[in-house]
Chain A
Amino acid sequence: MAGVIGMGGRGGRRPVDAEIHLVPLIDLLSSLISFLLMTAVWVQVSRLELKNGATGPDAATAAATDAPVPVRVHIHARGFSVVEPGQSGVTQIACLASECARIDRRPDADGHIKPQVVSSYDYARLGEVLSQLKARVPAQKDVVIQLDDRVPYNEMIHTMDVCLGLGLDGISLSGTSS
C-alpha cells in the first residue's frame, strides 16, 4: 500500500491528511493476537500466605505461642466460635443447616465422580462479627484459625479469605488435640 498521500495542500501548505497503512496494521494486529493467545495464562492460580503454619502433635496450643494472639476463630462441626481477647464470652455462630459441611460425590455429566464440598457455614455472620471486632480495635491484625481435624480444607481457605478481607492478615493456623 502506498504511504502518506497528500490531499489538497493548497498554496504549498503541508497536507494534514494521512493514509493509514491498513495491511501492515492488520498484519501487526494479527501477529500480536497470535502471540498473546499463545502466551496467555488462562488458569488464575494464586496464593494465600500463612504467617505461622507450624502445627504439631500438640497442636491445640502450638501455633501461637510467641506473640499475643488476640482473636481466635474455631471452626468445628457445629459452626464457628469466635474468642475475642479480653472478653470472657465466646460468640457462637451456628451453621445454616444441620450438617455444616458434607462431601457430595455425585457423578457429573461425563460420569466422573468429582467430590464437591457443600458448605453451610455462615460466613456472612462471621464477617459481621469480625468486622465489629475490627471496628472496636482497628489495630487488630492477628487471628488464629483453629480447625477440627475433619473440617474440609475448603472451609479453612474460605475463613482465611474472610479474615484477609477485613484486614486480619496475620493469620496463624492451629488444630485441636486429636
Chain B
Amino acid sequence: MPIVTPGRRIGSAYGSLTLAKKLGTGRRSGYASLFLTPMVDMFTIMVLYLIQQFSATGQFLFVDPEVKLPRAQRAATIEGSPPVITITNETISVQGKAVEDTAVLSKDGGWEAPRLEQALRELRKLSTDVEQSTGGRVVTDSAQGIVMVQADLTVPYVLVKKVLFIASKSGFERADFAVMRAK
C-alpha cells in the first residue's frame, strides 16, 4: 500500500452508511475492514505492559493455596531459591511436603518437632554435600543457612517463633518471610 497524500475520502470503515449506499449498489459488502492503526496501537501497548511486568530473574516460589500471605509494601524481590517452610493452622510443610502437625508446636512448652527438624537437617546436609562435592562452585541458599518462611496470616506468632527456633537449631540461621507485594 503506497503512502498517499492525506485527506478526506469516503471509506467503508469511517464513511457514513447513507452516503455509501448512495454511491454504491446498496448491497452489503462481504468484506469487513480491519482498523489497523488502533489494532497496532493496542498491540504495542500490550507488549509494553507485558514487558514491564516481565520478570527475567526466573525465580519461582510455590504458594500453597491454603496459605493466605500477608501484604507488605517494602518487600524485596526474592533472590535465589531458598527452601520453603510453610506454616498453616493445620500442618507445617518443608518444600511443599507436610512433615508435622501444627498441634505439636501449638501446645504450651512444646519446642520439639522431631520430623520438622529431621527434614530441615536433611536439606541442610544435602546442600552441604553438594557444596563439598563441587569444590564450593555450587553454593545453594540452603548451604548458606537461608530459609523462606511462608505462613498464613492468621497463625499465631508462637508458631512462627518455634519454627524459627527449630530452623536455627537445624542450621538455618537466616529467615526471610514470604509476603504479597502491596501496591
Chain A: residues with CB nearer than 8 A to chain B? 1, 5, 7, 17, 19, 22, 25-26, 29-30, 32-33, 36-37, 39-41, 43-50, 53-57, 59, 103, 114-117, 147-158, 160-161, 164-165, 173, 175, 178
Q: Closest approach, in angstroms, between the C-beta of A144 and any C-beta of chain B? A: 13
- Please, which residue of chain A has its CB at the minimum distance from the CB of B175? A53
Task: Tell me the complex Cα distance, A115–B70, Å.
Answer: 12
Q: Given the known inter-chain contacts A29-B43, A46-B180, please indicate yes or no for A149 contacting B50, CB distance below 8 A.
A: no
B39 contacts the other chain (CB 8 A)? yes
Task: Tell me the complex Cα distance, A151–B73, Å.
Answer: 21
Interface pick from B17-25, B115-123, B132-140, B155-163: B155-163
Chain B: residues with CB nearer than 8 A to chain A? 1-3, 36, 39-40, 43-44, 46-47, 50-51, 53-55, 60-61, 63, 68-78, 87, 89, 108-109, 111, 148, 151-161, 164-165, 167-168, 173-181
Contact B177 A22 (CB under 8 A): no
Q: Is the interface of A mostly helix, strand, loop or mixed?
A: mixed
Task: Tell me the complex Cα distance, A178–B156, Å.
Answer: 13
Contact B157 A148 (CB under 8 A): yes
